[in-house]
Amino acid sequence: MEALVGKRFPGGSYTVERWENVLLHDVVEHPVDPTGIVHPIGLFHVPLAACGWSYREIFEICGAESDEAVRAGEYTWELTAPMRAGVTYDIAGEFVDVERKHGRRGGVFDKVTFRLDLSEQTTGALVARVTNSWLFLRSDP
């Protein structure tokens, strides 16, 4: 698992369409911003949608024993500017840490952390850095 550290995600790009931004706001019951600012909840979706891998592929890369053996860990979002509907963003990222842990209730698991940077395509300006960790439960330590 330690060999994952430094493995890059494929690059990609994503544009949040206006209709999609309306749905993101609707999910959190927040009025749509008239200037086109995308609700930050989009950071759950946009970086992974743009990175070029599906959840299934990430689970396979991390050696998930089953879909039920994966848990959400921690999510950290650093926003330097708001995302806007209609703007295209480029994604770059990599796995930054793997840690084997032992929990009283969960047993043995690997905490896998990856970081995805979201930059405005036309200027290259960093808009957000998303750092996620997922937990992969292991039946055989």
Please determine, for residue 106, whether its predicted confidence score (pLDDT) is greater than 80.
no
Average pLDDT over all residues of the chain: 92
According to the model, what pLDDT value does residue 96 have? 97
According to the model, what pLDDT value does residue 2 have? 85
Mean pLDDT of 54-59: 88
Q: Does domain 2-137 have CATH number 3.10.129.10?
A: yes
Sheet containing strand 126-137, edge to edge, reads 12-15, 88-103, 107-120, 126-137, 70-79
pTM of the model: 0.87
According to the model, what pLDDT value does residue 54 have? 84
According to the model, what pLDDT value does residue 141 have? 62
Rounded-to-integer distance, Cα 95 and Cα 2, Å: 10
Q: What is the pLDDT of residues 118-138, one digit of tens each?
A: 999 999 999 999 999 999 999
Q: What percent of the chain has pLDDT over 90?
A: 73
According to the model, what pLDDT value does residue 29 have? 94
Mean pLDDT of 64-71: 90
Every domain of the chain and the residues it spans: 2-137
